[in-house]
A = this chain, B = another copy of it.
């Protein structure tokens, strides 16, 4: 693995999941793999789980992790080719990236979309420029359109549940539903895009996406899933329900409605096959998901978040081994 930006960087999803679960069983089994290697974690936006789980994963591999909050400890970067930098940007990515690449063996980057200009966000300018100029492997800690460490964690958690817990009815393929949920502000499409991309690529599920009209995701990610505006229909007989808000993709970055009827409740869960409920966190309680669901045995959100460590560790390990 040279970079980890999307599912396209993974040759065998199931093998990567097994690698992660092996680290969960024995976190320190490769504790010398990262010796004398340095990981730079660059944040242009806030982060809790992603930041800490990646630091823990690096430590488990004996790798030194150094965090740099670009937005707070550094300054604003310029991305436009040929820019006359007489405004607010202080340093061009062309100048910053190769230097960071000279200080670190692997770089991790988090950068959110503007949600103002779809073309800019979906071009993934920041992360692609970074890869182009830094000269070392890059791991996305969530980019403008995708969140691959989250999606890998999601599939790890799904497989773990399937292995450990007897689903009510054995099926050839689990039914996995990604459902839109209300929120109070416009959120990126990253988690939803990425989950769709990974579940489609994995191919071992009956995959349904449900959302209100006009909340269609980009086809490049959703294609392959059954898409419906009828949440009840979608939930029927589901084994996993992934709850997530996203803003509109077509008329970009908007909230059209926030119909509270889309919040996942205990009542709605009765439609499912005793589904496990997933969410990437942070979650707005009683807006996206009710307390009763989050505090019930149906919720696997804490397990999901703690699995972030093993996802990051598996990816770091693949990248370190590729560079040996």
Contacts and interface: CB of A to CB of B under 8 A. Distances in A.
Contacts of A91: 48, 281-283
A56 B84 contact: no
B281 A95 contact: yes
A294 B82 CA distance: 11
Interface of A: 28, 36, 38, 40, 43, 46-49, 51-53, 55-56, 59, 64, 66, 68-70, 72-75, 78, 82-87, 90-92, 94-96, 98-100, 102-103, 184, 281-287, 291, 294-295, 301-302, 305-306, 309
Contacts of A53: 103
A24 to B, nearest CB: 11
A64 B59 contact: yes
Q: How many copies does the complex hold?
A: 3
A87 B184 CA distance: 8
Given A51-B68, A52-B66, A85-B284, A73 B301 contact: no
Contacts of A38: 56, 59
Contacts of A309: 102-103
A28 to B, nearest CB: 6
A175 to B, nearest CB: 26
Given A46-B73, A102-B306, 18 more contacts: A38-B59, A48-B68, A48-B70, A48-B73, A49-B99, A52-B68, A72-B73, A82-B286, A84-B286, A84-B287, A85-B286, A91-B283, A95-B281, A95-B285, A96-B282, A98-B302, A99-B281, A102-B305
Contacts of A305: 99, 102
A40 B68 contact: no
